[in-house]
Structure 1
């Protein structure tokens, strides 16, 4: 009797063990494998320049009802650094030609001009250009305001940028190089994207009468001496002004080179 009871217990233990093992196998095959699930695609990434180019392509494709693959972009000016934008880029066509797209960022504030063309419409555009528009050679790289410029603002390289503009609608005396606005101030308000003319700016006052300025004599790459002298009059960049050595009382002359800096004559 005891032996029969022992055999029955062993049989029950065996069935329970097999049942648990079978349940474990069924559970493993019923739960979806983590490896089988497709990985989520990574968020799109790219440099600020790549984001700008992609945004322009999509905007032009949507506005002209074409495929983004048909939109061609001219290379950006390598001297202009594209900054990352915290807000969605805004785009429009500020000039008469639809080939120039203006891209603007609200934060940080900047704008960039991009030359575009549509491959499927290139023949038609070229045919019309022969009759109605000036040739490509009539376009020039000029200096335009990159931000709103207000009268009295002292300019630096961040306030302007170079853009290609149709020569037929270009005003006279247009500036072309960033160096032309250094140490200059605006004499009238200028809207962003508008070409800068020589009459829109003037040299800013870098030295004021009564101030102590640094006067240098000699060659910058060779022997040079410097001394502190008093400015006897206001001076703009490049102007010749009178100076005075307070210790000796001697009057001197110098040419304004920068803020409170003159080169002795």
Structure 2
């Protein structure tokens, strides 16, 4: 009996050691599997501008039930520097013009307006038969220049008119309503009768740095306060700019609403 006891102890020690080794192996395998999971493969870093553009394309594609490849973004002003956002970007359509998308960040707080257009994919021919030359081409109501438009000109409703034109060779980003050119300026010369595209115009500077502007806070139909403040930077329609109260020296923020008019934020 005395000889059997040491043998039993050695066997028990071996079983315990093997169990610990197996547990260690299982733990190491699990840890390595976890470390090699999808979360460890970081995607290459994108610039804040690329993040903004991709977010807008995906949002417009989901809202309009189209492919992201069909969403065309107008280039931003070269002076605009897009900052990184620590939270998911929020988007909406604040104006009657559905082509203007507002992108907002809550941390840090900023917003940017982006002009978008959705390209219409051409349908594939259903047959190899020759087209009917007697059929009239499809027409579309679009906005065309009624007078020669020169670069830098500030537009109004008298400079444009709606006209029916052949849609077979129509660009995808053509404007359709006169309201789309309000508070806008021409960025390239356009001949009379030529359809206007979103890339032909941009929001005009309605507030200039150093000018005194009228800032309104509240609802027009209800309680509203107005005050004269100084613009600390130039601003186009819909842009957020910095303001300063000369009496108190306090800095404020407002969104450009019209010529020398801002809405307090």
- Give the TM-score taking structure 1 as reference length: 0.50
Q: Which is helix-richer, 1 or 2?
A: 1
- Give the TM-score taking structure 2 as reference length: 0.50
Q: Greater CA radius of gyration, 1 or 2?
A: 1
